[in-house]
Amino acid sequence: MDVRQSDIDSLEERVRKQSYSKYMLNLRMHNVRSFKNQLVTFDFPIAAIIGTNGGGKSTILGAIALAYKETKPGNFFPKSNIGDNSMADWRIDYEIIDRTVAKSGTFSRNARFVSAKWRRENVAERDVVTIPIQRTVPANELAKFRQFIGIIQKTGVKKTPINPKIAEHVSRILGKDASNYMRVSLKSDKNKSILVGMKDANDYSQFHFGAGEASIIEMVSKIEEADDNSLILIEEIENGLHPLATRKMVEYLFDVAKRKKAQILFTTHSEYALDVLPAKAIWACIDGSAYQGKLTIESLRALTGSVAKEHAIFVEDEFAKDLCEEMMRQYGIDAFDRIQVHKAGGYPYVVEVLNHHNNNPTIKHKAVALIDGDNPPLTKANEYVFELPEGAPESIIFGYIKDNAAEVAALVQQRCQCPSISQDKIVKCINNVMIDTTDHHLYFSKLGEKLGFVSELVVRRGLCSIYVQNNEDKIKPIIESIKKKLSI
């Protein structure tokens, strides 16, 4: 399934109106591992937790699970008799929706580690589905499959086809027919089972599956069997998956969030898993702090001063990154080799990231942020925040190209790499896209299709370069001001 903006809007609205029987609105961790006093809000029913190794991704996953009776604390936070003295100060506070407890509004609960023991009074109840990283361990390395190893064929088994709905979801994620998968279980112990597939005329067992094949079937099966309003926790969702399958898996989670009113958290190191998520659905962890917004791992490293270049500019998204880099190329090339542009999530997250970076006493050089021109005024003046020309950048740039289509058609032909398309047709295509497209985010992909399926990236960067070149009076002062603020 494709994720539409209307899907995102309806899920955001459901959380805003608290239209759930069971939901975790937020949690605050006090002295939990590296988190000293960290609030994490769940403004969207799907949340991705990214971050560096040891940054705190699994801690957040475990912290939310601990709110519910079904979770044993030791599954996420085992207590060692060596080196775990600091757990004595751990506390997690929760704001919870549970209509069986409170018919309206929310209520609070907490989990504390006191006197070498977890304390959880009046623990909320909810179906919690945990999908650990061990799902991608090869079958021949797992003890539960040892009974299925051997040359002699097992007798006394029962073959059950995979549920057709599960097979349908798996097929969409893997991009191949999954209708021939079966689960083979022992009649003597139906809890012991193994998956079997078919390729051409040959059966093949889970011992010969691809790394992600069994993982997807197991994940989808567990999720489909879960109760409505469940909490679903997935460790490293991309493990063993092709990037396209990772994206398809997240698209499937949107369907689950809508259909089953589930709340889903997953950890990931893959940006493909973040593509379809809104900025508020992403939390990035590093060094005991968590930041909401669409940061990349590269941007996270920049927060601590670990940048490949001397100075940093934080922007909202990939489009703004392309635009900012083009502005630097044309009007700040003397400084561009000393500046790195990082996408850091939408507004206001980008400003929060900037403030954290600039307040870090270990960082030698201050950074700046370049925000889109369609944001509300800053709640607090910030001399390190600069703004693009007023309006949504995509609309401003495509609007300029449309208004000047006849004059810039030759440049579009050159920079969008479509020499076989006549300039008259290019003008017509630009006007048609403006008329037919209501979402400004789609202008560049739609024009690429009309120009002979030219890559959206090529079209976007080509039109950005034309706009920047022909609007020196608007763009050059911004770059000069940024260079001055960065003392370049």
Structural domains in the chain, sorted by start: 5-132+227-283 (3.40.50.300), 139-210 (no CATH), 296-389+473-485 (3.40.50), 393-470 (no CATH)
- First-residue to last-residue Cα distance in the chain: 47
Question: Tokens 């190191």 belong to which residue?
Answer: 269
pTM of the entire structure? Answer: 0.71
Identity at 304, one-letter amino acid code: T
Residue 374: Cβ within 10 Å count: 16
What pLDDT, on the 0 to 100 scale, is given for residue 159? 78
Contact 412, 462 (CB under 8 A): yes
What is the average per-residue pLDDT within 279-289? 86
Query: Which distant-in-sequence residues (6+ apart) come within 8 Å of 171 by Cβ?
Result: 177, 178, 179
What is the average per-residue pLDDT within 357-363? 81
Cα angle for residues 459, 275, 45 (degrees, 5° grid): 145
Inform me whether the pLDDT recorded for 155 exceeds 70.
no
What is the average per-residue pLDDT within 306-329? 88
What pLDDT, on the 0 to 100 scale, is given for residue 353? 86
**Adjacent-strand bridge partners of 40:** 27
pLDDT tens per residue across span 46-90: 999 998 777 889 999 999 999 999 999 988 988 765 655 668 789
**Which has more pLDDT, 143 or 446?**
446
Q: Percent of the chain, pLDDT > 90?
A: 59
Among 64-68, 132-136, 278-282, 293-297, the range with the most confident prediction by mean pLDDT is 64-68
What is the side-by-side order of every strand in the sheet holding 282-286? Answer: 128-131, 231-234, 263-267, 46-51, 282-286, 289-292
Residue 146 CA: distances (Å) to CA of 10, 60, 446, 452: 46, 34, 53, 55
What pLDDT, on the 0 to 100 scale, is given for residue 298? 65
What pLDDT, on the 0 to 100 scale, is given for residue 346? 85
In this structure, what token pair is assigned to residue 347?
């507004």
**Adjacent-strand bridge partners of 369:** 314, 385
The mean predicted confidence, pLDDT, of the chain is: 87
Q: Concatenate the DSSP letters of all residues of 420-450 into one string.
A: TS-HHHHHHHHHHHHHH---GGGHHHHHHHH
What pLDDT, on the 0 to 100 scale, is given for residue 179? 80
Among 132-136, 211-215, 235-239, 261-265, the range with the most confident prediction by mean pLDDT is 261-265
**Adjacent-strand bridge partners of 111:** 92
What pLDDT, on the 0 to 100 scale, is given for residue 203? 63
Across 134-143, 192-201, 304-313, least confident range: 134-143
What pLDDT, on the 0 to 100 scale, is given for residue 151? 47
